[in-house]
Amino acid sequence: MTRGDGLVVICACLLVGLSYVQFWGAPDAGDASATREVRILSGGTEFARLPLDRNALVEVPGPAGITRVEIADGAARCAASPGSQGICQRAGWLREAGDMAVSLPNRVLIEILGETKGPFDSINY
């Protein structure tokens, strides 16, 4: 093996190693969930904006009563809401950017913010 060969092989190994770091490196999912936030709107104005990595229980007052928002395990949900049909609760745990739960009677909107574009442009019920 000549010195040039050695250099080529070393460079090639570096390139391969770099490609692993670049394409297989820590996926940004971890970072995204760390920076992901839940935004709670009440009556059209922002009531709170909380990080998803800290568990919390928020009480959001509205015209119909109090909507409880629970944050746990990197997800948020509407735990209780005065709406008679439970649509807000039925949205379940909100985890991905773009997920949202809405309580129309209480005029509360819970929405996950983040970089990733959600799979839907809109959802109709």
Partner 1 sequence: MVTLASCLLYLVSVLISTTREDHLIAWLAALAIAIHVLEAALPSPIPGVKPGLANVITVLALLLYGWRVAVWVSLLRVLAGSLLVGSFLSPTFLLSLTGALASLAALGLATAVAGRHLSALGLCVLAALAHMLGQFLVAYTLIIPHPALLKLLPVLLTAALLFGLASGTIARMMYPQRPPAAP
7 sits near partner 1 (criterion: CB under 8 A): yes
Among 3, 44, 54, 124, binds partner 1 (CB under 8 A): 3
Taking CB under 8 A as the rule, does residue 24 contact partner 1? yes
Told to check if 26 binds partner 1 by CB under 8 A, we report no
Contact track, partner 1, 82-111, x by CB under 8 A:
------------------------------
Q: Does 15 bind partner 1 (CB under 8 A)?
A: yes
Instruction: Report phi then psi at 78, rounded to 5.
Output: -90, 105
Binding site for partner 1 (CB under 8 A): 1-5, 7-9, 12-13, 15-16, 19-20, 23-24
